[in-house]
């Protein structure tokens, strides 16, 4: 053993950051801030969260790596709803929408999601990974340390499997947690035209096989006029439940089919989009602890006008998460800060609600109780920001504010 190694193992912690303020969020209201703070960790877990004055020893006797910082430290951001594994892009479709075509009309004409399905089916697994990694890297560089990634552009067994394998490989390549969600019930593939029930039967048969390979953490569906009916969604959810898998749902985005209430009935982790969700559905969500995942990127890009029932969510105590919905059609959004910004401008979230939505409530929307706040014993996932106040995180549009981002105590390499 070298001297350096024996010294390192003799020190209690792996790392320590000093001098920044902490937005721990470890309280029900406010940022639960600590000024001139210290944050220590070992083996990927936080070992100290408090004022620098309260450190038990001199910093150099506590950790091998001591970083002096300024600004604010928040929990690592959790992007709890993405479709970031896909091939190609839909910039031309964006142009068509700007010229007046609607999202639904393009989808019904075989464009939209199905055009990404064609590109994704054509790409090899390695090629899909190559195209997806830069999107994940952009999210991490802007403070994300946990990503959810859905399938749903494969729509057959092999291609759904390929997408889920790529999602897992993104997490391995970048050293962050990736939670995978099976979204075969995203659109009807052309080979099942006019046979949606048969397609759901097939998608329900693929699920246990993919789950057996360790590729599925949760199950989702697109419950919508241009997606699948509540009855078809229910069949998918019954299959998930039989396997012990949690569910979440693209619910009430373009119309109210009672999707959020259906997700709640199944004890769903979340109902996502929720623009058309009724007050009764919000109450059902509150009763079952189902998180409302707000996706202001899709709202913005589709130039929607119907706001989610924010007052009902607040009144009934439904936790509100914020996510990018990163996807090639409705939300080509590569920044959690920008998603938070859009949630404030379009949905009137307060900066504090947006930050909680991107951390503690987003972690809950993934069923992860080991992250989302800065607390001793939780994962050492955090971001150090060049800001004078947390509201700055949702104030700037663009730019680079994250100075250091750590996932499980390990620094994520920032772009040069
Ligand atoms: O969350 N609504 C369905 N799914 C995506 C859009 C996917 C796409 O258009 O490619 C969404 O908005
Ligand atoms: Fe989505």
Q: Which residues in 38-76 are b (16+ Cβ under 10 Å) and which e? A: bbbbbeeebbbbbebeebeeebeebbbebbebebbbbbb
Q: Is 222 in the pocket of ligand 1 (CB under 6 A)?
A: yes
- Cα 206 to ligand 2 centroid, rounded to whole Å: 21
What kind and span of H or E run contains 96? Answer: helix 91-98
Q: Is 81 in the pocket of ligand 1 (CB under 6 A)?
A: no
Write down the pLDDT at residue 110.
Answer: 83
pTM of model > 0.85 = yes
* Closest ligand to residue 113's CA: 1
* Closest ligand to residue 148's CA: 2
Write down the pLDDT at residue 7.
Answer: 52
Q: Is 152 in the pocket of ligand 1 (CB under 6 A)?
A: no
First-to-final CA distance of the chain: 34
Write down the pLDDT at residue 1.
Answer: 38
Q: How many helices (H) and strands (E) does the chain have?
A: 15, 18
Q: What are the phi and psi torsion angles at 249 (to 5°)?
A: -150, 135
Write down the pLDDT at residue 415.
Answer: 82
Write down the pLDDT at residue 107.
Answer: 87
Sites in the chain below the pLDDT cut of 50: 1-6
């Amino acid at each position: 053993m070298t001297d350096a190694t024996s010294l390192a193992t003799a020190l209690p912690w792996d790392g320590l950051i000093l001098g920044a303020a902490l937005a721990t969020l470890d309280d029900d209201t406010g940022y639960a801030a600590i000024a001139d703070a210290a944050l220590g960790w070992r083996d990927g877990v936080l070992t100290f969260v408090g004022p620098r004055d309260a450190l038990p020893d001199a910093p150099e006797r506590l950790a091998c790596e001591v970083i002096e910082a300024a600004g604010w430290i928040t929990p690592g951001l959790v992007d709890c709803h993405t479709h970031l594994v896909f091939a190609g892009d839909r910039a031309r479709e964006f142009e068509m929408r700007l010229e007046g075509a609607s999202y639904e009309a393009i989808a019904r004409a075989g464009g939209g999601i199905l055009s990404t399905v064609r590109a994704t089916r054509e790409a090899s697994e390695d090629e899909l990974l190559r195209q997806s990694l830069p999107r994940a890297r952009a999210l991490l560089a802007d403070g994300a340390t946990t990503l959810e990634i859905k399938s749903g552009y494969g729509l057959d067994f092999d291609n759904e499997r390929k997408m889920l394998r790529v999602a897992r490989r993104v997490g391995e390549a970048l050293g962050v947690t990736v939670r995978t969600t099976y979204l075969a019930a995203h659109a009807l593939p052309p080979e099942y035209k006019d046979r949606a029930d048969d397609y759901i039967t097939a998608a329900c048969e693929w699920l246990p096989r993919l789950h057996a390979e360790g590729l599925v953490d949760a199950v989702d569906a697109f419950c919508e006029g241009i997606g699948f009916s509540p009855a078809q969604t229910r069949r998918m959810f019954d299959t998930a439940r039989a396997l012990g898998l949690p569910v979440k749902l693209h619910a009430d985005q373009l119309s109210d089919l009672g999707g959020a209430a259906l997700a709640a009935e199944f004890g769903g982790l979340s109902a996502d989009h929720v623009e058309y969700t009724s007050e009764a559905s919000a109450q059902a969500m509150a009763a079952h602890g189902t998180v409302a995942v707000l996706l202001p990127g899709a709202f913005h890009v589709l130039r929607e006008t119907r706001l989610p029932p924010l007052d009902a969510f607040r009144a009934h105590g439904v936790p509100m998460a914020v996510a990018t919905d990163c996807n090639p059609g409705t939300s080509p959004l590569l920044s959690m800060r920008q998603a938070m910004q859009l949630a404030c401008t379009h949905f009137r979230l307060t900066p504090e609600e947006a930050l909680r939505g991107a951390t503690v409530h987003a972690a809950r929307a993934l069923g992860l109780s080991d992250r989302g706040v800065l607390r001793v014993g939780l994962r050492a996932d955090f971001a150090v920001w060049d800001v004078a106040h947390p509201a700055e995180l949702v104030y700037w549009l663009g730019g680079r504010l994250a100075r250091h981002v750590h996932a499980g105590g390990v620094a994520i390499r920032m772009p040069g």
